[in-house]
């Protein structure tokens, strides 16, 4: 029967093919689980080398992200959890996004630079520290134009550079 007519098959062949199909269900489920893991934890960031940093074009002739990072000495910085960067996952209002940076004792830190990648001027603020500060701590409210990474670059007195970055989602907000 299956030899004569290729479009239709017998009951047994149909049942065995259906069994194969059913067996793929657990495979499909595990696939979606791994794809859907924490969509908000996209902490992924372009690598530290300048060539991997994407060139974000801006509208009015102020430095691009790549230029500003290079000027601030981002090249060769390593990502480190020692730089405690605290930002909200979702910003209620893009005009008021709290950014908190804590980089350990101030005697070891020279300066901290904060970048907001997709702003027209990515370099937001630079703070120069002295040992009298006690702790290299900074907390402020910033403006963000759209959803983007917020990076904190810490330049130590011994020349080493550490950074940390997190993604902040900027929403339109409810009524008004």
Partner 1 sequence: MAAIGKSIISTKTRGDLVYVRTILIHPQHTGRAKDKKTKRLIPELYVNRITVKNGGKVVTTMNAGAALSQNPYIEITLSASKASRIQVTWRDTSGKSWNNSKSV
Partner 2 sequence: MKYPKLTLGMIFLGVLIIIAFVVPPLPAQKGISKKDLAQTKGGLNPGELDKEGGKDLFNKVDGKAKKSCASCHTKSGPGKSLKGKAATYPKYVGMTKKVQSLQTMINYCRVNALKAKKYNLKKDKMMQMVTYIKSLSNGKRVNVKVKHPKEKAALKLGEIVFKQRRGQRNLSCEICHVKEAKKYLRMQILKKLKGASAHWPDYRTKKGKTFTIERRFQQCMKNARMSILKIGSPAMIGLELYVTKLANGKKIKAPGMVR
Asked if residue 62 binds partner 2 (CB under 8 A), the reply is: no
| Closest by CA position to 79, among listed 167, 166, 164 | 164
Contact string (CB under 8 A) for partner 2, positions 8-27, x = contact:
xxxx-xx--xx-xx--xx-x
Contact string (CB under 8 A) for partner 2, positions 121-140, x = contact:
------------------x-
Of 50-58, 95-103, 125-133, 146-154, the window that binds partner 2 (rule: CB under 8 A) is: 95-103
Cα 172 to chain centroid distance, Å, stands at 20
For partner 2, the closer CB: 33 or 57: 33
Cα 109 to chain centroid distance, Å, stands at 24
d(CA 115, CA 151): 5
DSSP string for 10-49 = -HHHHHHHHHHHHHHHHHHHHHHHHHTS-TT-------SS
Six-digit token string for 4 = 């004569």
Q: Please state, as a whole number, how many other Cβ atoms lie within 10 Å of the Cβ of residue 34.
A: 7
Asked if residue 61 binds partner 1 (CB under 8 A), the reply is: no
Shortest distance, position 20 Cβ to partner 2, whole Å: 7
Residue with tokens 């005697």: 107
Residues 85-124 that bind partner 1 (CB under 8 A): 95-97, 106, 116, 119-121, 123-124
- Among the listed residues 53, 85, 91, 101, the single contact to partner 2 using CB under 8 A: 91
d(CA 165, CA 149): 6
Asked if residue 141 binds partner 2 (CB under 8 A), the reply is: yes
HSE toward the beta carbon, residue 46, CA cutoff 13 A: 17
Binding residues vs partner 2 (CB under 8 A): 5-11, 13-14, 17-18, 20-21, 24-25, 27-29, 31-32, 36, 39-40, 86, 88-93, 95-98, 100, 139, 141, 171-176
Residues binding partner 1 (CB under 8 A): 60, 95-97, 106, 116, 119-121, 123-135, 137-143
């Amino acid at each position: 029967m299956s030899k004569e007519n290729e479009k239709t098959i017998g009951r047994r062949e149909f049942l065995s093919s259906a069994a194969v199909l059913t067996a793929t269900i657990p495979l499909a489920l595990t696939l979606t689980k791994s794809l859907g893991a924490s969509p908000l934890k996209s902490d992924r960031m372009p690598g530290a080398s300048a060539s991997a940093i994407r060139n974000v074009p801006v509208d009015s002739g102020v430095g691009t992200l790549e230029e500003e990072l290079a000027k601030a000495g981002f090249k060769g910085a390593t990502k480190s959890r020692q730089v405690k960067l605290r930002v909200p996952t979702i910003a209620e209002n893009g005009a008021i996004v709290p950014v908190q940076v804590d980089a350990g004792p101030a005697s070891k830190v020279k300066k901290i630079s904060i970048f907001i990648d997709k702003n027209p001027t990515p370099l937001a603020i630079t703070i120069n520290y002295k040992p009298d500060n006690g702790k290299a701590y900074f907390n402020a409210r910033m403006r963000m134009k759209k959803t983007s990474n917020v990076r904190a670059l810490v330049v130590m007195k011994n020349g080493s550079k550490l950074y940390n970055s997190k993604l902040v989602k900027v929403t339109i907000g409810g009524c008004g």
